[in-house]
Amino acid sequence: MARPVVVVLAPHWGRTDEGGWITRQVAGALAHASTVHVITPEGSYAGSRVDGVFTLHSLATPVDPVAELRRDLLVKAFEATSTSDEDVAGHGIAELLDRGLVQPWAGATEILSRLAPDLAVVVGHRTLGALQSLRDAAVDVPYVLLAVAPEDENAGCVHFDPLFDDAVAVLTVTESERNTIVAHHGRPETVHQIGAPLATNQSARTEPNPWVGDSDYVLVLTGASRSHEEDGLFEEEHELARLIRVCFPDRPVGVSHPDGFCAWRNGEISKGWPIERSSDLARLFAFAQVTVDLRPDTLFARRQIESLLYGAPIVVPHDRRAAEHARLSGAGLWFESPGDLVGGVGALLDPTIHDTFAQRGRAYAEDRYGSTARFVDKVLVACGMTSVDIDGSVPVASV
């Protein structure tokens, strides 16, 4: 019996941010039960090639980042000014939102017609160009929407309703993302939380970071570069990181900046290169007493889940999606003020509290995000495909 054919329509392919990573994981999960083709406007030349377990079709008509930025800024402006749905749908605003974003997908129509897939997956809750290519193709194919809706993007703009209205299922990663989409679009029975396939790197537990070692340190993650400290940019983040160093002088503190790593011990600093590889970040989580993330990622807060998997409780801003993991796991704290931050870190440095939180965190992260087999099963079931037995030790797809 021939395997079903699935086409993934991704505006970007190969990115290592959270959206790019989960896109590849979902495609990999589908590859367990189908033949998966990926169509993307990206690429330096038009053509097809093998990419791991996928066939990648590049259109070489990449979406202009300026067009994406214009669309996103317009949506934010509508949200801030309470623009009515009728205004968004009329007065030429719809055309302005789509300008430069639909045409790059024109080449996908012929590929879709030729492949005649059994199912399509549209990536991104604002990817109307992919939806248009499906409608223009000479095949009638159902599609699933992989929402990829970060906390800082309005998933309720009426202009993008057709993506949700016509989808047979909508895939989300976290409970917060799912709740947001259901609140705007309803149909809760079609909106599925699939989680993510994350696991610990066992070698990380035997290879401590050379700058902070295995000394039960406080790990601080910040999106503010060291060079910005002198420029006065991202001042709040720099001040919060400095506050932790000052309030806990007897405790080693490691601060990971985008452009370098700083380890503080007894008032002295050691400087190292940026933490760019996931394996290096895992080594930091494996020996940290607590992880403070001052600027968590906005889709599903992958770093917080990984920290919990390694037994390091988390402290995060109260108004970020990362706080979901702190609340649901019972293994983290969230802060609204500098006082909350210092109090939270101090509490988690208590051995008894730390051990209780660490146990809870590992249990939560392993249950919801620590199994490849469960992730594959959730994706296949949500997409209406036959579940298969998967060896949970095998990663879904390499990055």
The model's pLDDT over 295-345, given as tens digits with 9 standing for 90+, comes to 988 899 999 999 999 999 999 999 999 999 999 999 999 999 999 999 999
* pLDDT given for residue 225 in this prediction: 85
| pLDDT, tens digit (0-9, with 9 covering 90-100), for 244-256 | 999 999 899 999 9
Average pLDDT, the chain: 90
Tens digit of pLDDT for each residue in 22-64?
999 999 999 999 999 999 999 999 999 999 999 999 999 999 9
Beta-bridged to residue 171, according to DSSP, are 146, 192
Structural tokens at position 233: 């940019």
CATH 3.40.50.2000 maps onto the chain at 5-197+371-382, 202-369
34-49 burial code (b ≥16 CB/10 A, e <16): bbbbbbbbbbeeeeee
Residue 348, exposed/middle/buried by CB under 10 A (0-12, 13-18, 19+)? buried
**pLDDT class of 88 with cuts at 50, 70, 90:** low
d(C-alpha 106, C-alpha 17), whole Å? 26
Q: Measured between alpha carbons, how far apart are the two ends of the chain, in Å?
A: 30
Exposure b/e, 156-166, CB count within 10 A at least 16 = b: bbbbbeebbee
Per-residue pLDDT at 83: 59
Predicted pLDDT of residue 182: 95
Tokens 């400290």 belong to residue? 229
User: pLDDT for 199-213, tens place per residue?
Assistant: 998 889 888 888 888
The full DSSP string for 33-81 is TSEEEEEES--SS-EEEEETTEEEEE-S-PPPHHHHHHHHHHHHHHHHH
Using DSSP's 3-state secondary structure scheme, residue 274 falls into: coil
CATH code for 202-369? 3.40.50.2000
Q: Model-level pTM?
A: 0.89
Residue 397 has pLDDT above 90, yes or no: no
Residue 387: the pLDDT is 54
Q: Please name the CATH architecture into which domain 5-197+371-382 falls.
A: 3-Layer(aba) Sandwich (3.40)
Question: Cα–Cα distance between 399 and 396 in angstroms, integer?
Answer: 10
